[in-house]
Structure 1
Amino acid sequence: MPNGPTNGSAGQLNGAYSRAGIDQLYQFSQLIADSVKKIDATLTSKGLDFPTLDTPFTPESEAARAFPEIRDAAAIIAAASAQLTATVYPPPMTVMNTAMLFNVSAALNIAAEAHVAETLRDAGPKGASVKELAKPSGIDPAKLSRVLRLLVTYNIFQEVAPDVFAQNRLSSFMDTGKSIEAILADPKGKHDNTMGMAAAIGHMSDEAMKSLSYLTEAIFDPVSGHANNFRDIAFNRAFKTPLSVWEFFDTPEQEYRLRRFGMTMEGTKNMSPPLAIVDGMDWAALGDNALVVDVGGGLGAQSLTLSKNCSNLRFIVQDREALMEPAKKFWTTENPEALKSGRALLQVHDFFGPQTVKDADVFLMRMIMHDYPDKDCVTILRHLRAAATPSTQLVVVDNIMAYACPEPAALEIPGAALSPPPAPLLRNLGEANSTAYLMDVEMMAITGGVERTVTQFRDLLAQAGWKVTRVHHGAPFVLSHQKIIAVPA
């Protein structure tokens, strides 16, 4: 441990001199320094550099993050940096700034709806004036400037001169890749056939943020706060509707939000390594013509990836009728031969009713269980269990929450236990692993759902007649690509 200065103000504990706080600062800084050295050594050996914030994103520029050892070291850096900042920053400012983070979400949504990233695409490092950036949407340039400056403060966009802004790595993820002319000609189709990241930002800073603003009232309601009825939650208060969020999306007035949400699911896939859905499951061992039923599969983005990497598989993508036409367009663009040959089928299905496919080799459920309370998940799972053959496998792809303390019961499940991070980091890696925890509260507000721990998954599946056989955690920072594999009990 490096030696710091011993004079000046020092902690006192029961009259004795204490250096516990200073020692912890050195621990955090040492973890960061050691992890940077690991990144340096790995990338130097491969002739690669680490991407900087001031360069726009391209898939090629992210090559450094493809290596597991880089992702592991980056997770330690992110966790240690966040905890170090929380330690050294004045506590009142930390709490106050955290309480005001909704301003950043609002700013992101304004920038997205004003098409700022698309306008900046061709401006290069010199950027564009806020007056130019405000033209496509017609909003007040002075207000847009204030919004963008807040985002720059959080490392999204750059301000290269007073009221002149340029793209950077983070802001480039807000770019749909479409021209301003194309967006203005078809506003409802802005996010169609895109990477989906801009769609995800729009969804989270619109439906989700509006719903979250009513979460306190919903939780403290003496009746609905305990009912776990997904038609009587914060979302319903925010949008003044008796419909579930899915029923709401299917109304004609919500066509834009529905189409945006469909691409949001594509965006969550693109937040992960390209083959994340392939990892952790021996798809080849299923044999030739094995049938994967993608339950609640949306457009079928996960099945699409499997179709391009596992030639032995067939697919049925099931979801609501409103998604069938968008899904058909999606597959026609991405893998038309699969649709034409019948290798991939699109099927209207309500997973709260009996499962109609009785010969599935795999029931695949990605980001479904986190949408619903326990009792509704049990209903869905029991229908799948009733349709399963003795050899059917259930693959649940979702966030697996970790407690911020030891969880001995996880040791009972193959693959479930994770090695704890080095002290003094939080057991769950804290802010570096915060996405699932943020989504957990978001699900509470918008769908009534839950992000669950591995033991909660095990117990929930057991209620519906499934037995967990193993867990695959995957790489750090991978959203909703941890896998729980179960078989009929």
Structure 2
Amino acid sequence: MEETMETRHRARLAIVELVNMLSVPMSLNAIVRLNVPDAIWQGGTNTPLTASQILTKVLPSGGGDAENLQRILRMLTSYGVFAEVLDDTDRAERKYSLTEIGKMLVTDADGLSCASYVLQHHQDELMKAWPLVHEAVVDPKSEPFVKANGEPAYTYYGKRPEMIGLMRKAMSGVSVPFMKAMLEAYSGFDGIQRLVDVGGSAGHCLRMILQKNPNIREGINFDLPEVVAKAPNFPDTMTR
């Protein structure tokens, strides 16, 4: 394809956006840590709020910088996480509500959401490994996580219950909604009497399958010992 000035401009903008893409997950991490989605949702009202109003909810003791929060909100608005509303009485007063994407970060009745998934992916230990990814190409025996933290990821996690807990909650927050949708249309469990969920984490998906398919007499949640040790006990479910 013949290169034109326009294609060069588009390519330049594209590479700049890719370089700055780090700001998106880091901003998501920030609004989850500040509990912004739950503050806006307020039991389902999803009423547009200004950055200052949000700040009073996430920091009820006072303080904080509404302007810095607004910068994060506006940036994530451009990626469809929030919807921005301009007040008709004061066009300078911007308000923010949650889009369908943003609602994925709201804690549901079971205490789950995709917010834990955001936090789990941006833990310090994982973030330290990412700058070393190129070394896995130079030396395939080199694991970035090991180089950054001194031991393999699952060994490291197994010694830290808080990390296992976050990972378990993150996996449930992502998998449960998908399983609900799948079970509405999938009938492939008919005739099965024993079902093993390999890598089943907290066992929520297995529980949902068993509830929908009473023909399954035994369900086995199979995962690492440190993972299933804290998994909740569900009727007719074994953890291994």
Scaled to the shorter chain, the TM-score interval is 0.7 to 0.9
SS for the counterpart of 1:297 is: coil
Query: Is structure 2 residue 24 aligned with structure 1 residue 104?
Result: yes
1:220-231 alignment to 2 at 5 Å?
Answer: 220=137, 222=138, 225-227=139-141
SS for the counterpart of 2:178 is: coil
- Partner residue in 2 for 1:344: 237
Q: CA deviation at 1:242?
A: 2.1
The 1:121–1:281 alpha-carbon spacing in structure 2 relative to 1, beyond 3 Å, is closer
The residue identity in structure 2 corresponding to 1:312 is N
The residue identity in structure 2 corresponding to 1:212 is W
- Give, in whole Å, the separation in 2 of the partners of 1:293 and 1:102: 38
- Partner residue in 1 for 2:120: 203
- Give, in whole Å, the separation in 1 of the partners of 2:40 and 2:184: 35
TM-score (norm 1): 0.41
Q: Percent identity?
A: 16
Query: Is structure 2 residue 220 aligned with structure 1 residue 316?
Result: yes
1:33-48 alignment to 2 at 5 Å?
Answer: none
- Give, in whole Å, the separation in 2 of the partners of 1:196 and 1:246: 23
Q: CA deviation at 1:295?
A: 2.5
- Asked if structure 2 preserves the Cα contact closer than 8 Å seen for 1:297 and 1:318, the reply is yes
- Partner residue in 1 for 2:158: 250
- Partner residue in 2 for 1:164: 95
Q: CA deviation at 1:264?
A: 1.7
- Asked if structure 1 preserves the Cα contact closer than 8 Å seen for 2:80 and 2:101, the reply is yes
SS for the counterpart of 1:261 is: helix
SS for the counterpart of 1:243 is: coil
The 1:241–1:152 alpha-carbon spacing in structure 2 relative to 1, beyond 3 Å, is same
- Asked if structure 2 preserves the Cα contact closer than 8 Å seen for 1:105 and 1:209, the reply is no
Query: Which blocks of at least 5 consecutive residues in structure 2 are unaligned?
Result: 87-92
- Give, in whole Å, the separation in 2 of the partners of 1:316 and 1:125: 40
The 1:319–1:94 alpha-carbon spacing in structure 2 relative to 1, beyond 3 Å, is same
The residue identity in structure 2 corresponding to 1:152 is T
- Partner residue in 2 for 1:176: 107
Deviations 1:243-290 (A, max 9, x none): 3222222324x51x322211221133245262536976732233xxx2
- Give, in whole Å, the separation in 1 of the partners of 2:181 and 2:72: 36
Return the match for 2:70 from 132, 145, 157. Answer: 145
- Give, in whole Å, the separation in 2 of the partners of 1:284 and 1:147: 48
SS for the counterpart of 2:81 is: coil
- Asked if structure 2 preserves the Cα contact closer than 8 Å seen for 1:124 and 1:166, the reply is no
- Asked if structure 1 preserves the Cα contact closer than 8 Å seen for 2:191 and 2:215, the reply is no
- Give, in whole Å, the separation in 2 of the partners of 1:324 and 1:292: 16
Q: CA deviation at 1:134?
A: 2.9
- Give, in whole Å, the separation in 2 of the partners of 1:264 and 1:112: 13
Query: Is structure 2 residue 54 aligned with structure 1 residue 133?
Result: yes
Q: RMSD value over aligned CA atoms?
A: 3.1
Query: Is structure 2 residue 153 aligned with structure 1 residue 235?
Result: no
1:371-382 alignment to 2 at 5 Å?
Answer: none
Return the match for 1:94 from 3, 8, 14. Answer: 14
Query: Which blocks of at least 5 consecutive residues in structure 1 are unaligned?
Result: 1-10, 13-86, 179-192, 348-489
- Partner residue in 2 for 1:326: 230
Q: CA deviation at 1:236?
A: 3.2
Task: Report the structure number with the largest CA radius of gyration.
Answer: 1
SS for the counterpart of 1:284 is: coil
- Give, in whole Å, the separation in 1 of the partners of 2:155 and 2:197: 20
SS for the counterpart of 2:150 is: coil
- Asked if structure 1 preserves the Cα contact closer than 8 Å seen for 2:37 and 2:102, the reply is yes
- Give, in whole Å, the separation in 2 of the partners of 1:127 and 1:148: 12
- Partner residue in 2 for 1:382: none
Q: CA deviation at 1:150?
A: 0.7
Deviations 1:373-407 (A, max 9, x none): xxxxxxxxxxxxxxxxxxxxxxxxxxxxxxxxxxx
1:77-476 alignment to 2 at 5 Å?
Answer: 90-122=10-42, 124=45, 126-135=47-56, 136-137=58-59, 139-161=64-86, 162-177=93-108, 193-206=110-123, 208-216=126-134, 218-220=135-137, 222=138, 225-227=139-141, 232-237=142-147, 240-252=148-160, 255=162, 257-270=163-176, 272=178, 274-276=180-182, 282-286=188-192, 290-313=193-216, 314-328=218-232, 331=233, 336=234, 338=235, 343-347=236-240
- Give, in whole Å, the separation in 2 of the partners of 1:234 and 1:156: 31
- Asked if structure 2 preserves the Cα contact closer than 8 Å seen for 1:157 and 1:166, the reply is yes
TM-score (norm 2): 0.78
